[in-house]
Chains A and B, each alone.
Chain A
Amino acid sequence: MRGAHVRRKGARPVVPALTTGAHPAVRPRLLRRQADWEDRAAYEAAGGYLPGLAGPGLIDAVAASGLRGRGGAAFPAARKLAAVAGRRGEKVVIVNGEEGEPASVKDRWLLRSRPHLVIDGALRAARAVGAGTVYFYVSDTAAALSLKAALAELDGAPAELRVHRVRPSYVAGEETAAVNAINGRPAKPSEKPPRPFEEGVARLPTLVGNAETIASLPAIAGGAAGQVPSFLMTLSGAVPRPGLYEVPFGIPLGEATEVLGGLAGPARGYLMGGYFAGLLNARGHGLPLDYDALRARGSGLGCGAIVVLGARDCPVGLAAALLAYFGRENAGQCGSCFNGTAAMAGVAAALANGEAGPAEIARLAHWSGFLPGRGACGTLDAAAAVAATLLREFPAEVDAHQRDACPACAATDFAATAGPLALSPDSITPPLAAR
């Protein structure tokens, strides 16, 4: 793809300021202090593109690091690498930077500002699995331009590197949707099996890796042993400093949000893992940011996007907005999903408006337990998690709404506050422009 990017001579992509930072316990490997676009020279000066562990040695090191898929599913990265590496014949790598999770900006930030880190990781992944082609799958225009500018700086590469753009949508980031889009079909999920490692792009075994997961490989190849394992947290909502933060696994949620995001009064709760892992009440403050610990407590880390609910945010109104979103944004394929999301959204909207009673709440509770697993992708599971966690974490607020007596809603119009609580990537990282 060298030369495919048209740009003015001497013009460089500009990365505008997004609040970024690292927890004091972390030596950042994903974030970078400089706000400008990291070109090849700067990336190499910081130790990039160095030889390091490769092939089975790299896969072993990834296993030892405990790295899991950072798109949200948290599948062990080494098992995915090994599954593709173990197949015969031609193989493909997809770096998934579509980032359909509305509350998350991490992948776009990496692609917009540190494209060489992602490319370096992609080349290592391609070598480890034996792939000759790498697709960078993105919907963000600025990310695509940044990647193309970075690819134009390479003097040849050991694999064919292509940027594949897709229209942004919630479901387009699912791994089979990525494969379908690159294969020329609509960017919608397929029923599994086969999973992409069995049959993906052009029916070849395909590794689909989230951009942050792939960007984690260079440090592991360089011997990251002894480093504190960390991840990117997109923090938004009721905090003075929303932004993107590199955080060590395992610290309490409240510490991460308060040390980095600041404190705007006690948190009423949290929306976890983008829109994927449901709501937590104030007990979330003390829960560790750890995949298994959060799952054991009925929540999840997902893609690491966390929205803080303040005293004026109504969890019922937020849940209604989220379920309406799933009712709109589902792929419209699986009957249980397009019916189930619409049904749950209907009850949540009625509840938010003080028009639902015990019978409606009982139906919502039934659906939230019955529907998970009844779709080809995770959309229905995410919607059911919103409903289930609303009922479990905020019973008093649900009760108040049945009597149309929610103090937060009486104080403000929920519709005005429960909308896009998430960071908008375009407001915090304006599109790439020539300097």
Chain B
Amino acid sequence: MKIKLDRTICDGFGKCAAHAPAVFSLDEWGYASLERGLTAEADLPRELEQPARRALLDCPAHAIIERGPASEPPP
């Protein structure tokens, strides 16, 4: 499972970090980024998929998007 967090959409509700603290980190104003080492280009570790999916479904801003399999590798 690959996910993308669109930080231009994130409104800082913080639900993601509550559900999946190993996937999302918050700044002191409550805005999220993916934890260091995680990217939208790589599959999440399997044990993080379920909490990440819960975060995706519960994000009030719909800022978390599941990515389809890449058709071609990045440059």
- Residues on A close to B: CB < 8 A? 79-80, 82-83, 86-87, 188-193, 195, 197-198, 331, 333-336, 339-340, 370-371, 373-376
Please determine whether B6 and A339 come into contact, CB atoms closer than 8 angstroms.
Answer: no
Considering the chains assembled together, what is the distance between the CA atoms of A191 and B67 in angstroms? 13
Of B33, B36, B40, most buried by chain A (CB within 10 Å of CB) is B33
Residues of B within 8 A of A198 (CB): 72, 74
- B62: CB under 8 A from chain A? no
Q: Is the interface of B mostly helix, strand, loop or mixed?
A: loop
Please determine whether B31 and A374 come into contact, CB atoms closer than 8 angstroms.
Answer: yes
Q: Which of A190, A197, A331, A374 meets B27, CB within 8 Å? A: A374
Q: A334-B10, A335-B27 are in contact. Are A193 and B75 (CB under 8 A)?
A: no
- B58: CB under 8 A from chain A? no
The 7 residue pairs across chains A and B that have the minimum distance between CB atoms? A335-B31, A83-B75, A333-B8, A339-B29, A191-B6, A334-B7, A79-B75
Q: Which of B11, B31, B75 meets A80, CB within 8 Å? A: B75
Closest to A373 in B: B33
- Residues on B close to A: CB < 8 A? 4-12, 27, 29-31, 33, 36, 40-41, 67, 72, 74-75
Q: How many A-B residue pairs have CB under 8 A?
A: 63
The smallest C-beta distance from B3 to any residue of chain A, in angstroms, reads 11
The smallest C-beta distance from B60 to any residue of chain A, in angstroms, reads 14
Q: 19 interchain pairs (CB within 8 A)?
A: A189-B8, A191-B5, A191-B7, A191-B9, A193-B40, A193-B41, A193-B74, A195-B74, A197-B75, A198-B74, A333-B7, A334-B31, A335-B29, A336-B7, A339-B29, A339-B31, A374-B31, A374-B33, A376-B8
Residues of B within 8 A of A333 (CB): 7-8
Residues of B within 8 A of A79 (CB): 75
Please determine whether A86 and B72 come into contact, CB atoms closer than 8 angstroms.
Answer: yes
Considering the chains assembled together, what is the distance between the CA atoms of A336 and B5 in angstroms? 13
Considering the chains assembled together, what is the distance between the CA atoms of A336 and B26 in angstroms? 9
Considering the chains assembled together, what is the distance between the CA atoms of A339 and B11 in angstroms? 12
Q: A87-B72, A197-B75 are in contact. Are A191 and B27 (CB under 8 A)?
A: no
Q: A191-B4, A193-B40, A193-B41 are in contact. Are A336 and B75 (CB under 8 A)?
A: no
Residues of B within 8 A of A376 (CB): 6-8
